[in-house]
Structure 1
């Protein structure tokens, strides 16, 4: 009889953890993650050399400069991949 109690306690804890996970997932599904972002307007990128708007190609259509998918860390000015969450040099969140 005493050996069943730890097993039952484990099953109860497991059921509670699964219920919490379900509640968290349900809350995440109900969250409107895109409401603060303008997803309808295409992103506008300017050429780093002539500041002309670009259309997403590999080269600027005005001056021919090669366009890379790099950006500058605002903490240390290191070149990092565009869209990176953290700087690879200093670790600062972007």
Structure 2
């Protein structure tokens, strides 16, 4: 049996980009952001991400630009257009072995 994994896409709105990333990963894992077993700064420099995408879609930066990194068993893609997409990796889909019935 496979646990249900899901992809989440969030628009960066009034929250910070880092907050949006953490919230999206928590939503994909179906948990509270405070319950994540990995910290974002263990995967990527949050200040660097914020400075790269401080103004989504700003002049001089194409809206098709993105950065992608792994975080908490998910691939996170941050788009310059102001969108965060979180996709489970194979490691986040846990297989439960089936046990043959006793004869």
Normalized against structure 2, the TM-score is what? 0.23
Q: Quick one: higher RCO (CA 8 Å, sep 6+), 1 or 2?
A: 2
1 or 2, which has the higher strand percentage? 2
Higher Cα radius of gyration: 1
